[in-house]
Structures are given as C-alpha cells and as structure tokens.
Structure 1
Amino acid sequence: METTVDTALVKVPFDGRTIDIEYQWIGARRRHRPLVVFLHEGLGSVSMWRDFPRKLCEAGDFRGLVFSRYGYGRSTPRPPDEQWGVDFMHRQAREALPALFDALEIGPGRRHGKPWLLGHSDGGSIALIHAASFPDDVDGLTVLAPHIMVEDISVRSIAATRETYLHTDLRARLARHHAHVDSAFWGWNDIWLNADFRHWDLRPMLDHIRCPVLAVQGEDDEYGTMAQIEGIHRYAPQTVLLKLARCGHSPHRDQTGALTAASAAFITAHTSTLK
C-alpha cells in the first residue's frame, strides 16, 4: 500500500541557481530529541520511504527530516540535457546537503542541532562522504546497503533495471513517487552505467569519519556484497556491522522490525543530543 505524505518545498542554492527541495518533518515538537535525517536511494524520494521514517522516529522518540534530492520526488527536476558527473554523490554531500541544512537551520549551534544521518544505497554513500568531509557536523551514521566502490554485481543489476524500466510497468510505478520520473531514473542509471564511474571509490576518505557508524547489509542484496560494509569497518573501525538474513537491497522493507530496533538502540546509545 502506498503512503501519502504532506510535504513542503524549501529553496536552496545549488550549482549557481536556486532549486526547490521537497521535505517533510516528523515529530518536530520533540525539540530536545535526536534529529535523524533520511537520505534516500538512487531511485528514492520522500514517499518511497513509505512509513519507515515514522516507525523509526516513534520507536526511538526521535525527530526526523525526510527529503527528496535534486531530480527526485517533487524537488526541482534535472533538465534532460544535464548529465551528472562521476562526482555527483560528492556534490550532493558537500554542496547540496549543507545548503539544505543552512536553509532549515540544522547543524552545530543551530536551531535543530547536529543531525544523525540515515542513508540507503546512494544515500548511504552520500552520508559517508558528508561525515568524512565534515567530521564535526554529524552525530552519527546509519547506512543501509551503502556503496563505497563499484562492484560487478552492482553494474549487472543496474543494467537489468534499465531493461525493466524500458519494457515493463516500472516507469509507471516509479511515476507515483516522482513528478518527473525520467529525470530521476536516467540521472541515476546513466551515470552508474558510465564506464568512467567504474573507478569511483570512497575508501581513501573513510578514515576521516570519526562518528559512530552502524552499517547494514542484506545477505541477499542484489546490488552489492558484504565487501561494502566490511570495507567501511576496515577504514573506520568504530563501525558496527549488522548483516541481515532473508534481506535484499532494502533492509527497511525486508527486515523492518529488526532494522528499526537495531537502529533506534544504536542512535540512542551514541547520540550526543539526548536530554
């Protein structure tokens, strides 16, 4: 069942222009509770999370911020002639996310304080890059099926998704979650299948992450292997690994209960904003 959410738009500067970013607050009245910012996957949006952000925030008595990145959901779409570069996740982590935080008063010494970042897939990679680039600005990370390097299994599955998009009802199903579905799909798919992207690698920067990290991977993930989260632990040894059986690329859908319990406990145990 699809979940309808009420969202708003906020204007932020990005790439020399002003764009609209779709966002939604959860539990905004819990002013002194930890703030969890949800970073969606490569084809995600606010609505694609369904009710997982609400369930996690209720379980931990947290506040939440859910938003759709540029090109996704109801946010400003990517123009058809704009091709994302190999550094598109770095730009999201170092430029777009700080601009959103500025607009919404999130960060050390600001109204909403330091956030905890919870990212899925590409969103997990963006969370890792942000924490490595601004190590004093986040309380911690929960990353679900993150990518730190490009594996053959990822490329094969993304190529298969391209065929599914062209020849099945996937486009229509995704259009429920994106105002400009082709903007969302091709921005993600084209760059992941670009030959230059095969050299994309986050491992050299992971040792800059100082905050607590919970890294989660499903044993049946069709887009990545355990080498992804084991690599995070190798470079950031404070990382706690959670490997989930009977779980594919979306732990928040395949193992909702286990992930909610583990994430809520980890955030509560490690956040500095509890009062």
Structure 2
Amino acid sequence: MNVKGVALEYACFGPPPSEAPTIVLLHEGLGCVALWRDIPELLSERTGLGVLAYSRQGYGQSDPADLPLPLDFMTREAVDVLPRVLEQSGIRRCILFGHSDGATIAAIYAGSVEDHRVRGLILEAPHFFTEEMGLREIARARDSFAASDMRDRMAKYHRDPEGAFRGWCDTWLDAGFKGWNVSEVIDYIRVPILAIQGRGDQYGTLAQIDEIETRAYCPVDTAVLDCQHAPHHEAREATLEAVSEYCARLLRIEAAEVAPA
C-alpha cells in the first residue's frame, strides 16, 4: 500500500470489505503487523469479520520515518494517514481496534473526522494524557535499549529498529510532550466504545479509562483485566471474548436498524 508516497506494510484476513465489515488494527508504539501474531486470524474466526492490519511509517517493513517525529504524531497519523489507508483498502464499514498509541490514533480519528464507515471503537490501553509512571517506564525502556540486545530482537520485526525505537521513545520523553493531552476528542465520538485495560498496565493507569467514561456521550463498555499493557497477548481469551461480544452486539444493532418495518 502506498500512502502519500510512503510504502506501508499491510495484511488482510477473512472476508473482503464487500462481504463483511472490517476490523482495522492500529498497533502500539513499538508494534507492527507481525507483532499482532495470530490475533488478526483469531479475531476474524471469532467474529466473522474481515481484519486489516498495517504498520505505520517507521515500523515493521514499512518505509522508514524521518526523525524526530513531531510531538503531534498521533494526531497527524489519525487525520492525514488513516483516512487514506481506509480509502485504499476499499473499507465500507469498519471497527477501529487500536492498542496503546494505536488506540489514541483511533480515538482521535473518531473524534475528529466525520466518517460514517466507522461503526465502533475498541480502545485497548489508550493514552489521552501523559502520566509520570508511564514516562518512567519509557525511560527504563530507553536504558534497556542501550544496554541489552533489544535492538537485535526488534530487528526481527522492524526494518529500521533504531528508528522505530527512537521515534517512540524520544517523542514520549521530549520535554515538550509532558503536557500532551488529547482528551477533548472523546467529547466528539459518536460510536460505541469498548475500552480494555490491564490492571497492572505499566504505561498507564485506569485514569485513562475513567476519562473515557466521564467524557463520552456514546455508549461505553469496559473490560479491566488481570494483565499489564498488552491484554490481547497477556489475557488472550478474555480479550477475544470481550471483543467478539462487542462486535456481535454492534452487528445485531445494525441489523435491527436496517430491518424493514
């Protein structure tokens, strides 16, 4: 896939957009297509929906990104790149499923861009504002990257592991990023939300989920699970069950709305 002259890695699973809605997977700060592992296939099997996963510029096998990333990189991804990804993929109806930074991008898109193709949001470990404990964890990751074989391990999945790590770490730890806050986008979301968070998430507290529940004018379901930052890997069955039930409910609601009187 080529977006604004940038080659983006992507993979599709299950039925095409012409036959069923699509779950669009938006990865975390150090994620990519491959690091979802078998989750895309399992999601398609459990829900009967198509699944599209893509790697943002600078991640996976997508083209490298110019560094440093702008401090509003998540907003730019949401309003400049994601619409083109959806268009090029032939998406007709979709559910945005984002993890960590990807969840923030999904929320920004739904709260900033009027797109009736988006029928729901799954926000897993989202970030709407910085938290000191999360920044400390990123600083520890920075130290680990310098002192361990983390770069070599990342090279198995990322074409440019140094760039992928620096794009994430250096942006979050930039002094200008400390006051970053995009909570206002929640006020404008008008589709049902499923918010998923691990009780032991090392990058964010339940304050992020509280922000959704406090500000949202749309229906919000929550799943707080016994895991850390990656419920889809650390609490697989509970996450898949919550997502499957959410998707099934959305499909039932949509079927009822279009049924003849």
Q: Same fold (TM over 0.5)?
A: yes
Matches within 5 A, 1:7-26: 10-13=1-4, 18-26=5-13
* CA deviation after TM superposition for structure 1 residue 200, in Å: 1.0
For 1:77, which of 50, 64, 67 is the aligned residue? 64
* CA deviation after TM superposition for structure 1 residue 102, in Å: 2.2
8 Å contact 1:26–1:54 — kept in the other structure? Answer: yes
Asked whether 1:242 is paired with 2:227, we answer no
* CA deviation after TM superposition for structure 1 residue 205, in Å: 2.1
Give the % identical residues.
38
Distance in 2, Cα, partners of 1:48 & 1:173: 12
8 Å contact 1:120–1:145 — kept in the other structure? Answer: yes
Distance in 2, Cα, partners of 1:100 & 1:63: 15
Distance in 1, Cα, partners of 2:17 & 2:86: 18
Structure 2 stretches lacking a partner, 5+ long: none
Asked whether 1:179 is paired with 2:164, we answer no
* CA deviation after TM superposition for structure 1 residue 122, in Å: 0.2
* CA deviation after TM superposition for structure 1 residue 180, in Å: 0.8
**In the comparison of the two structures, how many residue pairs are matched?**
253
8 Å contact 2:8–2:61 — kept in the other structure? Answer: yes
Asked whether 1:153 is paired with 2:144, we answer no
Query: 1:105 maps to which residue?
Result: 90
For 1:163, which of 123, 143, 165 is the aligned residue? 143
What's the C-alpha RMSD, in Å, of the aligned pairs? 1.5
Query: 1:229 maps to which residue?
Result: 209
Structure 1 stretches lacking a partner, 5+ long: 1-9, 107-112
Query: 1:126 maps to which residue?
Result: 105
**TM-score in terms of structure 1 length:** 0.88
Letter in 2 for 1:190: D
* CA deviation after TM superposition for structure 1 residue 239, in Å: 1.4
Q: Deviations over 1:111-161 (max 9, x none)?
A: xx1210000000000000000012443110001101011000110000000
For 1:33, which of 1, 15, 20 is the aligned residue? 20
Which has the larger share of helix? 2
* CA deviation after TM superposition for structure 1 residue 84, in Å: 1.1
* CA deviation after TM superposition for structure 1 residue 12, in Å: 1.1
Letter in 2 for 1:85: P
* CA deviation after TM superposition for structure 1 residue 182, in Å: 0.9
Letter in 1 for 2:237: G
Query: 1:64 maps to which residue?
Result: 51
